């Protein structure tokens, strides 16, 4: 089995990702084990990749 890269989606229900937002309201899916970059803040998660994707899509980004 090939390990996934930090940004790869997974089908796991584990809390592996975050949804970040910047000052412009842009959203980004982010691996939960990597520090949030300067200028961004967490708006959802940690949650599964699927839950974070659904949250970001519901926000229209």
Which domain CATH number covers 29? 3.90.820.10
Residue 41 forms part of a structural domain: yes
pLDDT tens figures, 10-59: 666 778 899 999 999 899 999 999 999 999 999 999 999 999 999 999 98
Strand 27-31 and strand 17-22: the pairing is antiparallel
pLDDT at 20 (0 to 100): 96
pLDDT at 28 (0 to 100): 93
Residue 12 forms part of a structural domain: no
Residue 34 forms part of a structural domain: yes
51: domain range? Answer: 17-58
Answer yes or no: are the C-beta atoms of 32 and 8 closer than 8 Å. Answer: no
pLDDT at 37 (0 to 100): 97
Q: Work out the angle at residue 55's Cα, subtended by the Cα atoms of residues 52 and 56, and round it to the nearest 5 degrees.
A: 85
pLDDT at 2 (0 to 100): 47
* Number of domains, the chain: 1
What 28-35 contacts at long range (C-beta under 8 Å, 24+ apart), as own/partner pairs, is 28/56, 29/53, 29/56, 31/6, 31/7, 33/6, 34/6
pLDDT at 29 (0 to 100): 92
């Amino acid at each position: 089995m090939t390990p996934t890269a930090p940004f790869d989606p997974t089908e796991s229900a584990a809390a592996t990702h975050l949804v970040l937002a910047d000052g412009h309201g842009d959203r980004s899916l982010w691996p939960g084990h990597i520090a949030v970059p300067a200028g961004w803040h967490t708006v959802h998660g940690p949650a599964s990749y699927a839950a974070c994707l659904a949250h970001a899509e519901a926000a229209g980004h």
